[in-house]
Amino acid sequence: MSRENYVTKVEKTSPRLRRRAHCLLKDDAGAVAVVAAIVFPVLVGAMGLGAESGYWYMEQRKLQHAADVSAHAAAIRHRAGDPKPALENTALRIASASGYSPGTMTVSTKPGLSAGSSKITVELTETHPRLFSSIFVGEPVTLSARAVAEVKGGSKACVLALSGSASGAVTVTGSTQVQLSGCSVVSNSSAADAFLMRNGSAVMSTDCVYTVGEAVTTTGLTMTGCSEPIERVPPTPDPFASVAEPDRLQVQLLPCRTLDHVSNSSYVLDHLLSGVPAIRFCGGLDIKGTITLKPGLYIIDGGDFTVTAGAKLSGEGVTFYFTNSATAKLLGNGDIDLTAPTTGPYAGLLFFGSRRDAGVVHQVTGNSESTLEGNIYIPTGRIEFTGNSTVSGGCTQIVANEITFTGNSAMETCASRTDEIIVGKTVMLVE
């Protein structure tokens, strides 16, 4: 029946029925319910997807923060000289403490653009199951973040005291005159007098003084790179910590030689089992006369190594290794001209004190005049420049547990061109 016929029929009925029929024709409540039933799920879905997108954005920011702080922490450990596994452990620990759920992490290092700088890159990846969006996509959500921290800057050092607590780890006293050309003095000691100057006649000229603790100075200190000592800096890592000492058993297999052996210019060096050419002197070595050493490792196994009045000692490519509590005592008016090797396992090392000989004191004293080119490395002992000793003409870097300049000693030196010791480095995020 058509609507017109229905209306015509209704009009012929009673007024009461006509009113009910009109109400029925105008009733659209059912249509709204249908529209709501269609639109409401779409609206709820859109709200759910929007909330999930916000959640993933928040998780991404948390992951980026974890990458930033872990890269910065790893760079600090890199500045301290830690190896790569330690950097990775530090980065993972800091990232986890910042909310990182263990996924994939890579830590890489590479040189920076400026000399002596380096970059530490940390990349983090997390995988999460989807929330509302899993209705439409079954694959999990993968989040990733990357941060780069750079270690750069710093000053070259040529005097480094490794002791972490000694009072006066670097001491300048007496009438000493120390001239350090283009390099700084560093004390890793946390003591209130980690760097100690006493006696107004002591003079030191250097680029700057860096201390983990504090410095006590006099007017005799001249610094060209800073206005006052820089205190409470991070410790400077031992630059030669990775250099292995000669194997004790291999050393003991070498015959004990004497001065007579090297007095003959045609002498031949023995060899460690590792192949390193070496000569072992048992109970010390007293240089007399004129001695020219051939390139190689010279082992002082106990006793004192001395160069007495009137003696002349020279050698290129030589390393003196002190073990069994052996000491260097360069006394009197000896004339010394020594240069460290540039290649091999002991490249750059002129004097190398065994790490087992804690507290041993090495001395450059009397009226000896020396030209030393290389590194004096006494990691657990002390070296003293005393009396009227003079060290000049070469780039001599001194790395020892404790270092003292006293008496009328004079020293002129500079930073090594190959074995740089960098102090005062800064760490900052660059990406």
Which is higher by pLDDT, 97 or 154? Answer: 97
**Nearest-5° Cα angle at 54, 51 to 58:** 140
Residue 388: which of 160, 171, 168, 177 has the closest Cα?
177
What are 381-395's pLDDT values in tens digits?
999 988 665 555 557
Q: What is the mean pLDDT of residues 79-84?
A: 80
Provide, rounded to the nearest whole percent, the portion of the chain with pLDDT above 70.
78
- pLDDT bin (cut points 50, 70, 90) of residue 247 is very high
Integer Cα distance of 178 and 414 in angstroms = 11
Which tops the pLDDT comparison, 373 or 380? 380
Residue 290 vs residue 50, higher pLDDT: 290
pLDDT at 237: 87
Beta-carbon count within 10 A of 152 CB? 20
**Whole-angstrom Cα Rg for the chain:** 38
* Beta bridge partners of residue 261, listed in sequence order: none
Q: What is the dihedral of CA 262, 267, 272, 276, to 10 degrees?
A: 100
For residue 366, pLDDT over 70 is answered with no
Most confident of the ranges 285-299, 305-319, 356-370: 285-299
d(CA 295, CA 345): 13
pLDDT, greater one: 372 or 163: 163
pLDDT given at position 328: 93
Give pLDDT, residue 52.
Answer: 64
Nearest CA-CA partner of 228 in 241, 239, 219 = 219
Q: Which of 54-58, 154-158, 284-288, 308-312 has the highest mean pLDDT?
A: 284-288
pLDDT recorded at residue 427: 82
CA pair distance 29, 309, nearest whole angstrom: 119
- Please give the mean pLDDT across all residues of the chain: 82
pLDDT at position 10: 47
